[in-house]
Chains A and B, each alone.
Chain A
Amino acid sequence: MSLQRYFVKRLLVMIPVLFGVSILTFSLTKMLPGSPVDYILQFQETTPGLREQLEAQYNLNEPVYVQYWLWLRDAMVLDFGDSLISDRSVSGAILRRLPKTLLLGGGGFLIAVTIGIPLGVLAAVNNGNTIDEASRVGALLGIATPNFWLGLMLLLVFSVQLGWFRVIPPDMPTLSLPMLKFVILPAITLGTASSALIMRLTRSSMVEELNKDYVRTAKAKGLSERTVIVKHVLRNSMVSVVTVAAIQVAFIVNGSVVIEQVFSWPGVGRMLIQAITQRDLPVLQAIVLMIAVTIVFVNLIADLLYSWLDPRIRY
């Protein structure tokens, strides 16, 4: 299959997945016990007139598929209606909080990659000896530590005991110096488990590459160990690391939901938990849909990148 045909096929496969994702997100609220009007009114007693008015306003007297279609049509242009709690536009509220989450996620990703890849290379080059064993133990510890607990422990040591960081994030613009300082601890918390996974993967794919014939050829023609690793082996083993880095995006979204709670970080993850405890359905739907669509696209990019980097791979 040529690259173009693969790209087209991969794009077509995405359409049913996106539909499925939207149907699943939409039906979440339909599966809740009670009528949506109860949630709009937050279970307070009202007159029948107001109920009917609300039903008409939210198209609740239409058949379900019409409701889905109307919801999807609005969702396509990022119109998720108003929050049931604050009466403000849902997408506006999400967009206001998004930079904070992107800062945290970006920081976590940066830490995961800058720690994970060099340590993985180090472990692979020292395959079998003490450094490799130490990295294996380190990765195990990184994976086994609950991220929220690691966050609490960092908060305890560096904020409460040593007083190096604030306990609550400063009320400042996202790209201000105090904010960038505060994000250090949450980013470390978020990046730790990912860096362990990236390290293990870099190690195993590099060990595999190091045993290949071209490495022996390169060494035989007199290239230094360093040139062989940096120019030949690292490049080839990065192909599989790219896909794992993409999986880490989902992993980081996952982690930020919890870690934003640990550090009172005013991002989208915290908004999701608030929406659930307050039963704010439009906010819940909007965030869940937004996350899922992002991940579908990240996976698409990873797949395309993978097949472009390694032309042997076709599905």
Chain B
Amino acid sequence: MSHESQRTTTTERGRIQVTGFDTSVFEDRDERFEWQQAESTVSRERWTRAWERFKRNRTALVGLAIIAVMLFTTVFARPIAFEGVTIQPFSLAPFDPTASNFGALNQPPSIAHPFGTDWSGKDIFSRVMYGGRYSLTIGVITVGIALSVGVPLGAIAGYYGGWVDEVIMRLVDILYAFPFLVLAIALISVLGQGFWNMITALVLVVWIAYARLLRGEVLSVKENEYVTAAKALGARDRSIIFRHVVPNAMAPVIVQATLGIGTVVLNAAALGFLGLGLEPGSPEWGSMLARGRSSLIQGQWWITVFPGLAIFLFVLSINLVGDGVRDAVDPQGDSGGNAGVR
């Protein structure tokens, strides 16, 4: 009898008659096989498995531990106040990192000053503790912004191809012609010195690496059947790119981004050393070495040894973590060290 009732409800001509099942059952099945849900559990499992692999990597955990200690010392080195409200009241650093003491210039390491004092009597131990704030935030913020620029542009270039790809990749090629520091130096000469100007210059240099890497991955990922399937189901380009293509192409980008924090910190320190980074006298690790050469020649080794060791230790730890991340998320992708270095 249902045969009859269906026929009467259809008024349009030429419609295919589908008969023999209950519509309520049909809707049930559709919900149960919701493909977006299935996809998200798969990717969640993938990241859990990556974390399991990472946890077993002892050298990577050592790196993570060193970074945690450095983060701890730098956060608690001096109180942190936000808009007049003190958020973090502890002060582990024995001296104010920016206060000059003209009674104690160029003091070698002692109990009062474990790392000695510099040419204006500032305590180097306190400055090294505090200086992590600059390097760590510059590294993380720069890579974060660079990813948010490079990932969409790389994905769009790789997915659409054609003239969009040509335009974006030619722009990348043009910027790639300038070595990392030369471009950063040129941009800082235009923007001027300072924290945010330095980050802007570094972002403009760094994003191209992620765009280029992701585009290459997208080119191969978009050939997968599930992308064709998503297209056939009528998914919009935007959701195909960001739900299906990018998550599956991100692994090498995440590895490079982790290692990239190290690259950015090294280059930011180099800018500081050249006197082009933050304002002169800032307790940033690179800037602390800016006048290091002349004091070194006079035999005051402690002024250059300790800030440099801090940079070295941080970048080393980031590289240990980065190698661990690579083994965890992208086991085949040993490109041999940090390809992001230019």
Q: Is A31 part of the binding interface, using a Cβ–Cβ cutoff of 8 Å?
A: yes
* Distance in angstroms between the alpha carbons of A168 and B319 in the assembled complex: 34
| Closest chain B CB from A19 CB (angstroms) | 9
Chain B residues 250-304 with CB under 8 Å of chain A are: 262, 266, 269-270, 273-276, 286, 289, 292-293, 296-297, 299, 301, 304
Binary per-residue interface labels of chain A (139-169) against chain B in the complex, 1 for a CB within 8 Å, 0 otherwise: 1110111111100110110001000000100
A149 CB contact (under 8 Å) in B190, B311, B320: B311
Number of interface residues of B (CB under 8 A): 49
Q: Are B179 and A251 in contact (CB under 8 A)?
A: yes
Number of interface residues of A (CB under 8 A): 58
Given that A17-B174, A197-B341 are contacting pairs, would A258 and B270 also be in contact in the complex, using a CB cutoff of 8 Å?
yes
Q: Is B316 part of the binding interface, using a Cβ–Cβ cutoff of 8 Å?
A: yes
* Distance in angstroms between the alpha carbons of A299 and B212 in the assembled complex: 15
Of A24, A25, A149, A254, the most chain B CB neighbours within 10 A belong to A149
Q: Is A84 part of the binding interface, using a Cβ–Cβ cutoff of 8 Å?
A: no
With a CB–CB cut-off of 8 A, which chain A residues contact B186? 25, 28, 284, 288
Q: Is A90 part of the binding interface, using a Cβ–Cβ cutoff of 8 Å?
A: no
Q: Are A251 and B342 in contact (CB under 8 A)?
A: yes
| Closest chain A CB from B231 CB (angstroms) | 26
Q: Are B170 and A17 in contact (CB under 8 A)?
A: yes
Q: Which of the 9-residue segments A45-53, A106-114, A174-182, A272-280 touches chain B?
A: A272-280
* Distance in angstroms between the alpha carbons of A143 and B262 in the assembled complex: 10
Q: Which of the 9-residue segments B22-30, B117-125, B154-162, B329-337 touches chain A?
A: B329-337
Q: Are A152 and B177 in contact (CB under 8 A)?
A: no
With a CB–CB cut-off of 8 A, which chain B residues contact A24? 174-175, 178
* Distance in angstroms between the alpha carbons of A173 and B102 in the assembled complex: 43
Chain B residues 189-234 with CB under 8 Å of chain A are: 189-190
| Closest chain A CB from B153 CB (angstroms) | 16
Given that A144-B312, A167-B297 are contacting pairs, would A197 and B337 also be in contact in the complex, using a CB cutoff of 8 Å?
yes
Q: Are A143 and B338 in contact (CB under 8 A)?
A: yes
| Closest chain B CB from A239 CB (angstroms) | 14
Q: Are A152 and B293 in contact (CB under 8 A)?
A: yes
Q: Which of the 9-residue segments A60-68, A69-77, A199-207, A221-229 touches chain B?
A: A199-207
Q: Are B319 and A140 in contact (CB under 8 A)?
A: yes
Q: Is A250 part of the binding interface, using a Cβ–Cβ cutoff of 8 Å?
A: yes
Q: Are B316 and A144 in contact (CB under 8 A)?
A: yes
Of B296, B308, B320, B336, the most chain A CB neighbours within 10 A belong to B336
| Closest chain B CB from A69 CB (angstroms) | 19
A262 CB contact (under 8 Å) in B182, B293, B342: B293
Q: Are B312 and A204 in contact (CB under 8 A)?
A: no
With a CB–CB cut-off of 8 A, which chain A residues contact B275? 277
Find the B residue at minimum CB distance from A294: B177
Q: Are B185 and A145 in contact (CB under 8 A)?
A: no
Q: Is A184 part of the binding interface, using a Cβ–Cβ cutoff of 8 Å?
A: no
Q: Is A103 part of the binding interface, using a Cβ–Cβ cutoff of 8 Å?
A: no
With a CB–CB cut-off of 8 A, which chain A residues contact B140? none
Chain A residues 226-277 with CB under 8 Å of chain B are: 247, 250-251, 253-254, 257-258, 261-262, 264, 272-273, 276-277
With a CB–CB cut-off of 8 A, which chain A residues contact B180? 250, 254
Find the A residue at minimum CB distance from B167: A16
Given that A167-B297, A291-B179 are contacting pairs, would A17 and B189 also be in contact in the complex, using a CB cutoff of 8 Å?
no
Find the B residue at minimum CB distance from A264: B293
24 intermolecular pairs with C-beta atoms under 8 Å apart = A17-B177, A20-B173, A21-B177, A24-B178, A28-B186, A32-B190, A140-B316, A146-B266, A146-B312, A148-B269, A149-B289, A153-B305, A156-B304, A167-B297, A197-B338, A201-B335, A250-B342, A253-B182, A257-B185, A276-B189, A291-B178, A293-B177, A295-B176, A296-B177
| Beyond A143-B262, A153-B308, 20 extra complex contacts between A and B, CB < 8 Å | A17-B170, A32-B190, A140-B323, A143-B315, A145-B315, A146-B315, A149-B304, A156-B304, A160-B296, A197-B338, A200-B337, A203-B336, A253-B182, A257-B179, A257-B274, A273-B274, A276-B185, A288-B178, A291-B179, A292-B177
The 8 closest A-B pairs by CB, nearest first: A200-B336, A149-B308, A20-B174, A144-B316, A201-B336, A200-B337, A254-B179, A292-B177
